[in-house]
């Protein structure tokens, strides 16, 4: 068949939940357009049921992922970078269309996102050294503090930085042993949905990262109030929504990472995503476990809290 007569095969974008690619439970889709308003694809419009299913998948995956060695998690994150490198051209096209960038600028964004995975992969077995340690105690005790993952983290991805910002909020969450339910940028979800395909082929266990697309406020509300969500990253929320979600999160004990800094339009996309990210996102979703152990003749049994 000649190239002229060949029918185009359009990509069907799907959610990524529990290591699988379901369509939205609601059956809804919405049009995704480029910076000039031209149609790019139909993206699934997730429902509250999809959000609840993603939490169930994340909780199921948490035990195995948090119990893996830090070195192993680092290998898995590095594998994500490897797979992204092999699919770089695809992501350059999607980022260019989603963010209205030239091909060269989109390529720089994708390169930075790949490097960001490598950067966080290198931190998996080192964060414990800077977030924990031996504490000075005036008595016959050993007092050791070690960081542990918080649990299931709901992540509102940046609205404008559809790929580098996305990677910058997902990678630190899972690098430290948490699992994530991610709400992609509402206007530019395609790079996030394609990232699910990379994660599925990168040794990341199913359920460790779950990616939803659709209306941010509609999906974030049930996640903020969900009793089995342990933390929420409000990066992609505007000021009004962030306040509403903080109130909802107070129904049970949750860690809340507030969007900083904030633009005039109420979003946090002025954050300098290409800059070195530091360790604040790694430590944002860690708990500190302190172990007290008596020394000398007091016995070998210790206690912790």
Instruction: Report pLDDT digits (tens) over 2-60.
Output: 567 777 788 899 999 999 999 999 899 999 999 889 999 999 999 999 999 999 999 99
22 in helix, strand or coil? coil
Q: Over the stretch 5-21, which tens digit does the pLDDT of each residue have?
A: 777 788 899 999 999 99
Handedness of CA 16, 18, 21, 26 (dihedral sign): negative
Structural domains in the chain, sorted by start: 45-304 (3.40.605.10)
Write down the residue that tokens 């210790």 correspond to. Answer: 302
Structure tokens at 238: 């505007």
C-alpha dihedral (82, 55, 179, 98), degrees to nearest 10 = 40
Q: Over the stretch 280-295, which tens digit does the pLDDT of each residue have?
A: 999 999 998 888 778 7
Residue 296: which region, alpha, beta or left (left: phi > 0; alpha: psi -120 to 50)? left
Task: Supply the pTM of this predicted model.
Answer: 0.89
pLDDT per position in the chain (305 positions), as tens? 556 777 778 889 999 999 999 999 989 999 999 988 999 999 999 999 999 999 999 999 999 999 999 999 999 999 999 999 999 999 999 999 999 999 999 999 999 999 999 999 999 999 988 877 777 777 777 777 888 999 999 999 999 999 999 999 999 999 999 999 999 999 999 999 999 999 999 999 999 999 999 999 999 999 999 999 999 999 999 999 999 999 999 988 899 999 876 555 555 555 789 998 989 999 999 998 888 778 764 445 555 44
Backbone angles phi, psi at 78, to 5 degrees: -65, -35
Mention every residue, 6+ apart, whose C-beta is less than 8 A from residue 233: 153, 154, 155, 156, 169, 173, 257, 284, 285
Q: Count each helix (H run) and each strand (E run) in the chain, helices first.
A: 10, 11
Mention every residue, 6+ apart, whose C-beta is less than 8 A from residue 245: 220, 221, 224, 232, 234, 237, 256
Backbone angles phi, psi at 156, to 5 degrees: -95, 105
User: Residue 162 and residue 109: Cα distance in Å, rounded?
Assistant: 10
């Amino acid at each position: 068949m000649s190239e002229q007569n060949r029918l185009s095969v359009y990509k069907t974008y799907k959610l990524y939940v529990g290591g699988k690619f379901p369509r939205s439970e609601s059956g809804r889709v919405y049009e995704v357009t480029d910076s000039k308003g031209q149609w790019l694809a139909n993206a699934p419009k997730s429902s509250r049921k999809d959000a609840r299913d993603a939490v169930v998948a994340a909780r199921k995956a948490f035990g195995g992922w948090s119990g893996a060695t830090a070195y192993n998690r680092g290998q898995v994150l590095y594998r994500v970078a490897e797979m992204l490198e092999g699919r770089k051209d695809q992501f350059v096209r999607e980022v260019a269309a989603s963010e209205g960038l030239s091909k060269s600028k989109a390529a720089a964004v994708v390169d930075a996102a790949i490097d960001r995975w490598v950067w966080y992969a290198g931190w998996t077995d080192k964060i414990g050294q800077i977030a924990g340690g031996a504490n000075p105690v005036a008595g016959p005790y050993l007092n050791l503090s070690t960081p542990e993952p918080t649990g299931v983290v709901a992540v509102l991805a940046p609205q404008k930085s559809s790929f580098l910002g996305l990677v910058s909020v997902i990678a630190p969450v899972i690098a430290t042993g948490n699992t994530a339910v991610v709400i992609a940028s509402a206007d530019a979800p395609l790079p996030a949905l394609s990232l699910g395909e990379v994660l599925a082929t990168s040794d990341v266990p199913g359920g460790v990262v779950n990616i939803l697309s659709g209306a941010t406020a509609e999906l974030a509300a049930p996640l903020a109030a969900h009793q089995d969500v342990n933390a929420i990253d409000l990066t992609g929320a505007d000021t009004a929504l962030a306040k509403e979600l903080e109130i909802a999160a107070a129904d049970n004990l949750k860690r809340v990472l507030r969007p900083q800094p904030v633009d005039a339009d109420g979003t946090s996309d002025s954050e300098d995503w290409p800059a070195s990210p530091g360790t604040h996102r790694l430590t944002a979703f860690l708990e500190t476990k302190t172990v007290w152990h008596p020394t000398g003749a007091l016995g070998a049994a210790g206690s912790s809290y």
